Amino acid sequence: MRNSLVNSSVSVGAYSIRTLLGFVTRSIFINLLGVEILGLNGLFTNILSFFSLAELGIGTSIVYELYKPIVLNDKEEIKSLMRLYKNVYNAIGIIIGFLGILLVPMLPLFIKENSISGKVYIYYLLFLFNSVVSYFFTYKRSMLNADQKNYITVVNDLLFYCISVALQIILLVFFHSYTYYLIIQITTTIVSNISITFVVNRQYPFLKEKKVKKLSKDVIQNLKKNVVGNVSSQVGTIIVLGSDNIMLSAFVGLASVGLYSNYTLITNSVKSILQQATNAVIPSIGNLIADSTNGKSYRAFKMYWILNAAISYLAGVLVFAFINNFIFIWLGKKYVLPIHTSFFMSLYLVILMYQGTVRTFISAYGLFWQQRWKAMCEAFLNIVISTLLLVIFKLQIDGVLLGTIFSSACINLWFEPYIVFKYGFKSSAWWYIKNTIWFYFSFFITVIPIIMLNRWLIVTSMFNFLLNIIIIGLIIIIIFMAIFSARLDFRSIIIKLIIKQRRK
């Protein structure tokens, strides 16, 4: 687990720096280019996320297949899988470029306004090119990730991200050009991937060998099965997460996408920082499962669950408590959304993060086939409900959020744990169900005093904001300790961590 700790620490630190730089860039971006260009940026990000469906979940499936040969040091199997990965990703890059060009004439359908339509096509093609080039050379990253050396890719990406941000800020200040902003993004994407390629070739020189054996029928069959399972999961996930900005742009307008994206920048940053630690642990869990019994894996699941539950609870509660006041101080009153909207965002953040435990074990066990229809059902439900709330009830941002929350609650909260417990641990999920009810009850009862405190502690300046953070933050910590310290599993984890720290 040492590699997991290194990966987690480096990932969290690096993403924290990326997040801070992201807020700086966003502030300059809004002030110099405006909220509509910001909305366009969010819209194109979502549109191009749909093209990643061409990946078909192949990357995840191949990384899963790499765990065992890495443990066994089977270089021939590793070479074969990596060669397949390379060929598939090169083909995907070409397919995405072709599909992206076909979409060009249909761009006006996604944009309600026509005020900036003259340059929309140039911006879109630059976005598309950045997406396409990201698929070339990137397959080498999978080797580092599967071998528990994700920290190398994280440090590499952070270095080039810092360079990119510095150049983008300079060009924004002097030229006020979104075109130059995108060109810098493309350049650093290419150079970053080339850099990773050199690192991997140096660490794993056998990957450069031209003689590669064919994969066995069993491996191919397993890959096909997992890819099919991943396809529906990929489709559903991208539709759920990628349709929000598209629906807002089409039915409400680009300005609403801009406002919404400011909030999602915060919630996604919180989620992503914490997910860096989660993602870094997946290879270790995959190796643990490949080399141990279900009993040991189940104990690891319970330990991971309580830690993830505590982190998810704190993340959701703290985001709800401070997100509106932070937006007020950061961007100004006109960018602040109603408190019920911020609650819906916090609740969805909690749902996504809490599901991280079962999703980690789904990936580690390779249970993609078993959940092949789950995400499709979720996506269908999400689109139907969101469309009704947007078109008929005119709920705008709230409608999109409620549709996503409802579809996720109806499908994911019960089906994903069912898959892990039935096919992974081969035991009843009753323990998980009881603890899930306890978790959400704890979150909802904590929200009530936060609403009351925010009505009393009104923020009008940075001083008020800092005072708000201190008072509400202390109260949240007290409530958190009262709720979680009552659990034996949480106390045991804390004691183990303290003992381990003292031994150092």
Beta strands in 202-318 (DSSP E): none
Length of the chain: 504
Question: How many whole angstroms from its chain centre is CA 110?
Answer: 24
Cβ 449 vs Cβ 479: under 8 Å: yes
State the Cα–Cα distance between residues 18 and 161, nearest whole angstrom: 7
Instruction: Report the pLDDT value the prediction gives residue 49, as an integer from 0 to 100.
Output: 82
Q: Which residues of the chain register pLDDT less than 50?
A: none
* Pair 476, 318: CB distance under 8 Å: yes
Asked if 291 contacts 369 with a C-beta cutoff of 8 angstroms, the reply is: no
Question: Domain locations in the chain?
Answer: 1-217+250-291
pLDDT at site 60: 73
Nearest to 100 by CA among 138, 126, 72, 69: 126
Of 349, 288, 313, the C-alpha closest to 435 is 313
Please give the pLDDT value at position 463. 92
* Total Cβ atoms within 10 A of residue 44: 24
Is 103 within 8 Å of 160 (Cβ atoms)? no
Location of structure tokens 């979502």: 46
Mean pLDDT computed over every residue of the chain: 88
pLDDT for 15: 84
Q: Report the alpha-carbon distance of residue 301 to residue 307 in Å, rounded.
A: 10
**What is the per-residue burial (b if ≥16 Cβ within 10 Å, else e) of 449-475?**
ebeeebeebebeeeeebeebbeebeee
Residue reference for tokens 């130059």: 180
How far is the C-alpha of 106 from the C-alpha of 386, rounded, in Å? 22
Amino acid, single-letter form, for residue 452: M
Separation CA 435–CA 305 (nearest Å)? 10
Residue 348: the pLDDT is 95
Please, which residues have CB within 8 angstroms of residue 452's CB and are 6 or more apart in sequence? none
pLDDT, tens only, 235-250: 777 777 778 889 999 8
* CB 369 within 8 Å of CB 233: no
CB contact set of 375 (below 8 Å; sequence gap of 6+) = 232, 233, 234, 235, 236, 237, 239, 240
Residue 247's pLDDT is 92
